[in-house]
A = this chain, B = another copy of it.
């Protein structure tokens, strides 16, 4: 089976688990909370949980890890709802964002609700025979992930307000905003499957590197992708003044005049389509896309190398192969 075949097989099980767990009233709140989850998404974090569990515990560990897979997807969707409010984004996954449909207040609470449901989903691992001490450990990893996501999100906002950011600051921000939840996903899968500290630490590092590669690819797609395949507006990073790796690189390479011009458009909330395109062209003219491409490849390569060193510990070689495919997908995807 290839990765896409595996996704087609397990995604419906993750979705079903989420639908069964996230239930209650008032209905409006639950509709808002489930809106983006139902709109689609690639389920990359649940896949990370399930493959990590299989790697450590074999195919039979998948069932035990399903609550963890649901938990990270629920947590991820909570961050999307809140991020969309913060960034004033109006579309995601091809549908209007939660705050566009239900208003900001309801969207804030819908996100908060999902946050709690991430824990409730995870706690259900005990019903599947996972030792309660391991469930508690998984809760710890979910919590660490949530803390680092918030830190990364705050850093992202703070960097957007500054003139320049360094590549180091960018990586630190991305480790929080994006990689942390992939790291927690691997850890949760491994710990629910009975893994020890060594393999958990190892898989976390694999996903730290892969998560960074994933975000760099995301930055690139935000500049070069087609709006329709992306499911959200391109150039919104520019409008929001985001210090993507492309912007950081371009600001260093541009002449003083072009640099000023780019800075004048970055973060300009009411920038016209022409201005956004002008900014995009300025960024591309520096070779920023090629630089980011090779940086992403580099992180993906390091992630793969790290992964190859767990192969002797792996109890499920198909899972190992699928994890490799996943990392490759994270860095090469076109949307």
Instruction: Give the interface of A toward B (CB within 8 A).
Output: 24-26, 28-29, 78-79, 82, 85-86, 104-106, 108-113, 115-117, 119-120, 123, 126, 132-133, 135-136, 139-140, 142-144, 146-147, 149-151, 153-155, 157-158
A140 and B123 in contact (CB under 8 A), knowing A108-B82, A147-B113? yes
Give the residue of B109, B119, B150 whose beta carbon is less than 8 angstroms from that of A150. B109
In the assembled complex, how far is the CB of residue A194 from the closest CB belonging to chain B, in whole angstroms?
16
Q: How far is the CA of A85 from the CA of B136 in the complex (A)?
A: 32
Give the residue of B105, B111, B135, B147 whose beta carbon is less than 8 angstroms from that of A157. B105
Q: Which residues of B contact A142 (CB under 8 A)?
A: 119
User: CB distance B105 to A151 under 8 Å?
Assistant: no
Sort A-B residue pairs by CB-CB distance and give the 6 closest, nearest first. Answer: A116-B146, A29-B154, A113-B150, A86-B105, A136-B136, A119-B143
Give the residue of B28, B111, B139 whose beta carbon is less than 8 angstroms from that of A139. B139
Q: Which residues of B contact A151 (CB under 8 A)?
A: 24-26, 29, 113
In the assembled complex, how far is the CB of residue A141 from the closest CB belonging to chain B, in whole angstroms?
11
User: Which secondary structure dominates chain A's binding surface?
Assistant: helix
Q: Which residues of B contact A149 (CB under 8 A)?
A: 112
A109 and B123 in contact (CB under 8 A), knowing A26-B151, A116-B143, A147-B24? no
Q: Which residues of B contact A140 (CB under 8 A)?
A: 123
User: CB distance B150 to A123 under 8 Å?
Assistant: no
Look across to chain B and name the residue whose beta carbon is closest to the beta carbon of A140.
Answer: B123
